[in-house]
Chains A and B, each alone.
Chain A
């Protein structure tokens, strides 16, 4: 199916145009205006409506890419930009928009330097959307790399890093991963031309440097996921970010690796590759276990959320390597729920952290006095712990059962890691619910009504995604 109206291009362009509008928005000298915030909010909501429309244009039962859009870009070398979507990519675009919207809404009060933050966020959103709609190797690579620039600026400007060397290292590390992928893309181009992503099974392991191509693809994409030995730079930056919007953006980066692997993964895995699976399973499981333990011991809530995010990303990575088509579809649904859960939890935690700093008080017992916050926080903690209240539950269950059936020992350790990550979050919730005299925060500091209503909407989305992941699609 091809589209007569370039709606996919439009959903890439809208945040970009929004960014240009943000750049022209007026800011008052005392930083009290919300112009750039309003523009960003309107842009994201407008794009969400369009994404909803795209859902109705595609055949949700088909697993292949649809709504193809093609643009001639270069004649030498002959490169075209091709866009297309399927259920998985649309779900990812929707989820990314929702989580960024969540971050933006909860950053409304942070008016100092709001303009560059909103501009970079919209640029990041535009590039991320482009990444998910890319349907050929070059478009895929261009947006894979393009996400780095706005993310680097966001982390650098709003991450509160004392040592910029660490940030530079993070960027260079990601750039190295992108270059490895670039090398693979150029090799693919040499032997197969500008290959559409849905024909990646044409890259044979034994022909035309197939082994090198697959290895470079795997390393380039896995480098975005905080699995050993690639975890250092990601954890050293992401875990230390306290701005919720920037944390959410930087936590979306591993998603690009996961999604890339899902896209490239061929139907028939070369037998030579399957030998490496066992090794990746071991490394992944050990990474999960260690990170979940560190998250459990760590006092910083941010690190606990980071460890939860990492554990789940690695689990999805291992799910992809199981090679089942059904699992790949489940990963899409699970990721949708997971992204909303972690982003919502992050903004609520950041809200508590802000109140703590603002009133110079401990937050132990804060949830006993703030009912609205307590309701949302508890729901999100239970959802992240894997309770049957979001799309994460069913799909994680399927992925885990698949992994357990393949290797019971590794599957058990993996489950254990998930339990420890969940326990860390539940323990944090109990701390917030255990009343303490050191806490001076009260009802006045509870979640504002507007934000509470928004979070209720998120809760509604999660519940509905548990009942039927694509409940919002109304096909004619």
Chain B
């Protein structure tokens, strides 16, 4: 019993950030964003350490199961969160805004993500999703002009409630027929007769729809775009960079663990969602003048691309999709880091018209943005090429011609959107005065570039262990 409590240490670490930070917020006189970042950093490091320590131990294995796969995703997410917390602290320092609530909401979300990644039963999934939704609401409300974010927060709350209800109805249907919440039992039930009844299949559809809503897959993407449009930069970065990896892990766990016998039913459903997301993301990005929205649509596109790649849930497709999503998230992280340098008279800029000719005065930062964007397009010899190659190669290996035929032209649309940004940065005359860029932005960019360069020279350094883990899952 005592051992179980030790195994829950990562979750305790995440949870205990809130009371400690609250006490600091109340009693410490001299407190800045740096204070809370230091605190967040300490708790994150503890979480990372304990997660690694208990990487295959589970306190309640029938609900939450830690495996090498879940640990892999969690570690990636914690490291990304750490980097983003560091950059966000600079934003809060510059704006002279309180950061306690931001970090607290992020830790609630990290706890939710932790639970979602390790879910081994629908009950755990059904608990994690509402927790994450509440975390999102707390996060969007972190704005000094509350009126600006009230509407999107309310709209999200309503739709999140509806989808949570849908999730629970779906879970009830499955529980009623399968007699259990556990993925293994559900898998056994569907393996017996995959086309038994319409109601359990409807339940599966509801559960998947709820997960798709969380992933902001089209047609459930509007909340994400409105978040991106209205939220402050640290919030935008957090909800764009951190969740995709966790949702990807949760999807693998759910489908491989619970719904694997329903392949014939799930693949067409995922195909529809992924194609809609891919096309909407690629086309909408081309009509955006606002950089945050543009990259918001591109992150939708990435979700669609990943879903298309992973759809078969075979060893090869999971590895390919993993490689793609990790590389894309790294590129997006680089792009968001550059956003922190787009500052004029204390204001962070996001309209393309405000940043024309940026390369003239910030050549290194613009060069980094160029590399990250071309990596997002997947142009050789950037690291993104490896991601695209992995997915398209799997599709061609499996003779999925239709999907490959859609992916290749969609890349052209993404390229078109990115070229607009390159044109704005490089080919147009300088039209604005920009503030000095914080050293932290350059440090993070440099680390990201080194990481990308090393991974490009030998992708095995980045992905070898991940491939072994994913190979074991399949």
A interface residue numbers (CB < 8 A to B)? 23, 73-77, 115-116, 127, 141-143, 145-146, 148-149, 152-153, 156-157, 161, 164, 167-168, 171-172, 175-176, 179, 182-183, 186-187, 189-190
Q: Which residues of B contact A153 (CB under 8 A)?
A: 370, 422, 426
In the complex formed, the residue of A with least CB distance to B364 is A23
A186 and B419 within 8 A (CB): no
Interface residues of B in 413-458 (CB under 8 A from A): 415-416, 419-420, 422-423, 426-428, 458
Report yes or no: B412 in contact with A167, Cβ–Cβ below 8 A. no
| B374 (CB) vs chain A CBs: closest residue | A149
Contact A142/B381 with A156-B427, A183-B408, A190-B396 known, Cβ cut-off 8 Å: yes
A161: which of B390, B393, B427, B467 is its contact (CB, 8 Å)?
B427
Measured CB to CB, the nearest residue on chain A to B456 is A73
Please name the residue on chain A nearest to B460 by beta carbon. Answer: A75
Note all chain A residues with C-beta closer than 8 A to B15: none
A380 to chain B minimum Cβ distance, whole angstroms, is 32
Q: Are A73 and B458 in contact (CB under 8 A)?
A: yes
Known: A76-B467, A145-B379. A171 touches B427 (CB 8 A): no
Instruction: Check A179 against B460 for contact (C-beta < 8 Å).
Output: no
Q: In the complex where A176-B412, A179-B412, A186-B396 touch, is A168 in contact with B381 (Cβ < 8 A)? A: no
Set of chain A residues within 8 Å of B367, measured between Cβ atoms: 23
Q: Known: A76-B467, A146-B381, A171-B415. Is A164-B423 also a contact (CB below 8 A)?
A: yes
User: Contact between A77 and B381 (Cβ–Cβ < 8 Å)?
Assistant: no
* A77 and B390 contacting across the interface, CB-CB below 8 Å: yes
B152 within 8 A of A: no
What are 19 A-B residue pairs whose CB atoms fall within 8 Å in the complex? Answer: A23-B364, A23-B367, A74-B460, A115-B363, A116-B363, A127-B381, A142-B381, A148-B379, A152-B419, A152-B422, A156-B426, A164-B423, A167-B427, A171-B415, A172-B419, A175-B411, A176-B412, A179-B412, A187-B396
CA distance A451 to B18 in the complex (A): 71
Structural contact, B427 and A164, CB atoms closer than 8 A:
yes
Chain B, interface size category, equals: 35 or more
| Binary contact track B361-382/A, C-beta < 8 Å → 1, others 0 | 0011001001000100001110
Q: State whether the Cβ of B316 lies closer than 8 Å to any Cβ in chain A.
A: yes
Q: How far is the CB of A230 from chain B (nearest CB, A)?
A: 16
Give Cα A426 to B411, complex, Å: 45
In the assembled complex, which residues on chain A have CB atoms less than 8 Å from the CB atom of B393?
77, 186, 189
B189 within 8 A of A: no
Task: Give, as a whole number of angstroms, the nearest-CB distance from B323 to chain A.
Answer: 8
Closest residue of chain A to B394 (Cβ to Cβ) is: A77
- With A75-B460, A179-B408, A179-B412 as contacts: A157 and B426 at CB distance below 8 Å: yes
The answer on a CB contact under 8 Å between A149 and B379 is: yes
- A185 vs B317: C-alpha distance when bound (angstroms): 19
User: Given A75-B460, A164-B427, does the pair A175, B415 have CB atoms closer than 8 Å?
Assistant: yes
**Residue in chain B with minimal CB distance to A144:** B380
Question: B426 — which chain A residues lie within 8 A by C-beta?
Answer: 153, 156-157
- Asked if B380 and A141 sit within 8 Å, CB to CB, the answer is yes
Chain B residues lying within 8 Å of A182, measured Cβ to Cβ, are: 392, 408
Q: What is the CB-to-nearest-CB distance from A167 to chain B, in angstroms, rounded to a whole number?
A: 7
Query: Is B326 located at the chain interface by the 8 A CB criterion?
Result: no
Residues of B within 8 A of A161 (CB): 427
B404 in contact (CB, < 8 A): yes
Given contacts A74-B386, A76-B319, A77-B390, contact A145 B380 (CB under 8 A): yes
Inter-subunit contact B423/A168 (CB<8 Å): yes
Give A141 to B392 CA distance when docked, in angstroms. 15
* A contacts with B: majority SS: helix
Once the chains are docked, how many angstroms separate the CA of A190 from the CA of B397? 6
Closest chain A CB from B382 CB (angstroms): 8
Interface status of B389 (Cβ within 8 A of chain A): yes
The distance from the CB of A338 to the nearest CB of chain B, in whole angstroms, is 28
Closest chain B residue to A79, Cβ basis? B389
Measured CB to CB, the nearest residue on chain A to B316 is A76
A412 to chain B, nearest CB (A): 41
Bound complex: CA of A116 vs CA of B427, how far in Å? 12
Whole-angstrom distance between the Cβ of B314 and the nearest chain A Cβ: 12
Residue B385 interfacial (CB < 8 Å): yes
Closest CB-CB distance, B102 to chain A, in whole Å?
A: 36
Q: Are A74 and B459 in contact (CB under 8 A)?
A: yes
Bound-state CA distance A146–B377 (Å) is 12
How far is B408's CA from A262's CA once the two chains are assembled, in angstroms? 26
Distance in angstroms between the alpha carbons of A76 and B427 in the assembled complex: 38
Task: Check if A175 sits within 8 Å of B412, measured CB to CB.
Answer: yes
A73→B460 CA distance, assembly (Å): 8
| 6 nearest A-B pairs in the assembled complex, by CB-CB distance | A145-B380, A142-B380, A164-B423, A168-B419, A186-B396, A156-B427
Extra pairs beyond A146-B380, A157-B427, A168-B416 (6, CB < 8 Å): A73-B458, A127-B381, A142-B381, A148-B379, A164-B428, A179-B411
**A362 smallest CB distance to B (angstroms):** 31
Residues of B within 8 A of A75 (CB): 460, 464, 467
Which among A77, A148, A176, A189 has the highest number of chain B CB atoms within 10 Å? Answer: A77
| CA A115 to CA B363, docked complex, whole Å | 10
A219 to chain B, nearest CB (A): 13
Residues on B with C-beta less than 8 A from A145 are 379-380, 385
Interface pair B392/A186, CB less than 8 Å apart:
yes
Distance of A149 Cα from B382 Cα, bound (Å): 10
Question: What's the nearest-Cβ distance from chain A to residue B427, in Å?
Answer: 5
- List residues of chain A with CB within 8 A of the CB of B396: 183, 186-187, 190
Q: Specify which chain A residues have a CB less than 8 angstroms from the CB of B419 in the assembled complex.
A: 152, 167-168, 171-172
Residues of A within 8 A of B460 (CB): 74-75
Q: Which residues of B contact A189 (CB under 8 A)?
A: 393
Q: Which residues of A contact B415 (CB under 8 A)?
A: 171-172, 175
Residue among B359, B389, B409, B428 with the most chain A CB within 10 A? B389
Closest approach, in angstroms, between the C-beta of A102 and any C-beta of chain B?
Answer: 25
Produce 1/0 per residue, B342-372, CB < 8 A to A.
0000000000000000010001100100100
Question: In the bound complex, how far is the Cα of B397 from the Cα of A167, in angstroms?
Answer: 35
Nearest opposing residue in chain A for B360, CB measure: A113
- Bound state CA distance, A16 and B232, in angstroms? 39
Q: Give complex CA distance A82, B379 in Å.
A: 20
Task: For B423, list chain A residues within 8 Å (CB).
Answer: 156, 164, 167-168
Query: Which A residues are CB-close (under 8 A) to B416?
Result: 168, 172
List B contacts of A172 (CB < 8 A): 412, 415-416, 419
Q: Which residues of A contact B397 (CB under 8 A)?
A: 190
Residues of A within 8 A of B420 (CB): 168
